[in-house]
Structure 1
Amino acid sequence: MPASLRSPWAWFPPAVALALVAAILATGSNRPLFLWLNHRGHALGDLAWFHLTMLGDGAMALALVLPCIRRAPRQFWAALLAGVVAGLWTQATKEFVDVPRPLSVLAPWDFHLAGPAYKRVSFPSGHAAAAFALAGIWIMGAEGRRWWKGLLFALASLVGLSRIMLGVHWPLDVLWGMLGGWLGAWSGLALQARWRWQTAGRGGLLAGAVLMAVTASLLVSRHIGIPAVLPAQRVVAAVCLAWGAWEIGCLGRLIFAREAPYAAQAPPSRATMAWWVARLVRRAQRWRNDG
């Protein structure tokens, strides 16, 4: 089950996000806060923000889930379910709320733009949703020390901030994406706990094959739109692909070993079936003669 509602990890992050959303709306500080953060993000350098934003890409998030298919089946299925919920949260909002990007509202010299020159459908941030969904799965669904969970939360927060630092999202976009990601993580863990899906079966192998295809596409894809991250994107994809293939291979051997005893009891071939039919006929004739 996901973390208890009494656990701070279950309610504190979304509560903080909602409080910040309310404060920004009440004070009308979305644009001033964006400019303040965007101007102060240069100290870390664009390259660092580029690589942080890469981790929030949906395909990259799925690639990072792939190696968990055998060792952490609970988190594996929960992450896939969380991706569906967070994706619906993001796309449904974008469908009904078309907020212009900073590039459509501000002059280019008023802020720092280092990402792709997007102009529409800013609200919410899909990268923030993906990052917080993935972090939430491990924070709420895995045993671990507080410092480790805090580190994951800080990393997801930096991924969300990278969207502001690169000049492609407003603070409200990131906070609403964070809410969707956390809701997705909680929902994914709750649904997996209810259904108790395992990866040691055909469904798990099928899901693994789909993620293998998504991961392999990252070896050649340029959809992130940031040439500077292509080397890191390909390295991460290659590692996840090789690791995932190994885990799926081990999983396949485990499934085969489990089903081998039942295979020995499987229906015989046609020739063997004919032998059994002939034997039954002879036995019936014997019983009739005895009678």
Structure 2
Amino acid sequence: MLLFAAITFSDSNQELFLALNLGGHVFGDRVWANLTMLGDGAVALALVLPCIKRTPDRFWAALIAAVIATAYVQLIKHALPIPRPLALLESDAFFHSGPPHRTGAFPSGHAAAAFALAGIWVMGLRGYVVLRLMLLLLAVLVSLSRVMVGVHWPLDLLGGMLGGWLAAWCGLILSSRFGWTTCSLWGLASGLVLLVIAAALLFSQHIGFPEVMPLQRGVGIVCLLWGGWELLQTPFQLPMRRRAREE
């Protein structure tokens, strides 16, 4: 929030975008493309699948956070149709890769997804300081990748980060309060939907970066196999009324 205020009042959003975008490709364009892939909504949902049995509280917290973050991003995007860099700057003035988005800049959906998912573990874990710091750093890099590929302003990232973090906080509070289990039909249905999403990552090119397909398929395979195993190990139960009727 302090960074958001500083950039807004100094009117340095465009200047900072150009500085980051033009100077941030020391590690190569492919690195940023793969990082931006990790902030895709489908990828973020698939990454939730492996914790369906081991940590059901964080499983539900992540799904709740996904709903809240999506609503946050879409409502603001429609209320504030802010143009993206391609709509305001000459295409040869900065680096751009991937789909040529021109509208719906604020906030960044990728930043919201990255911070919602990372926030579940950063705020939900106790101890594991190094792991939590690494997840937070990864979420920052995923968010920053949206500037590096030329589709978002710095303020878009900060708005997405804030929304994703708040969504994770709400998800953790609600899942803790209601104490939902994944051994229910709702858990089974949610797991099956996420399995379909993970399977779709093996062939879908919706992200628009052909160079990320190897990593995207790798994430899909790992989530599909790991999540499928977790589903098989989960003792799903029928509703009490149906069970009584059958007995």
Q: Same fold (TM over 0.5)?
A: yes
The SS at the match of 1:43 is coil
Structure 1 residue aligned with 2:46: 63
Instruction: Name the structure 2 match of 1:211.
Output: 194
Residue 267 and residue 198 in structure 1: after superposition, are their counterparts in 2 closer, same or farther (change >3 A)?
Answer: closer
Within the alignment, does 1:241 sit opposite 2:241 as a pair? no
- Show the 5 A alignment for 1:1-291: 18-251=1-234, 254-255=235-236
Structure 2, unmatched stretches of 5+, are none
Per-residue displacement from partner, 1:253-289 (whole Å, max 9, x unpaired)?
x336x99xx97x8656xxxxxxxxxxxxxxxxxxxxx
The separation in 2 between residues aligned to 1:101 and 1:91, in whole angstroms, is 15
Distance 1:243 1:25, change over 3 A: same
Q: What is the CA–CA distance in structure 1 between the aligned matches of 2:25 and 2:191, rounded to whole Å?
A: 39
| Alpha-carbon distance change, 201 to 38 in structure 1, aligned in 2, over 3 angstroms | same
The answer to which of 35-44 and 54-63 deviates more is 35-44
* Segment drifting more, 236-245 vs 52-61: 236-245
2:216, 2:177 → 1: CA distance?
35
Query: TM-score, normalised to structure 1's length?
Result: 0.81
Q: Which has the larger radius of gyration?
A: 1
Q: CA RMSD in A?
A: 1.7
Equivalent AA in structure 2 for residue 146 of structure 1: V
Query: CA, structure 1 residues 240+26, in 2 after alignment: closer, same or farther (shift >3 Å)?
Result: same
Question: Relative to structure 1, is the Cα distance of residues 199 and 24 closer, same or farther in structure 2, using a 3 angstrom cutoff?
Answer: same
Post-superposition CA distance 1:73-128 (Å, at most 9, x none): 01100000000110011000001111111011111121111232111111110000
1-structure distance, mates of 2:207, 2:221: 17
| Structure 1 range deviating more: 108-117 or 163-172 | 108-117
Paired residues in the alignment total 245
Q: Gaps (5+ residues) in structure 1?
A: 1-17, 269-291
Any conservation in 1 of the 2:182–2:236 contact (CA below 8 Å)?
A: no
| Residue identity (%) | 53
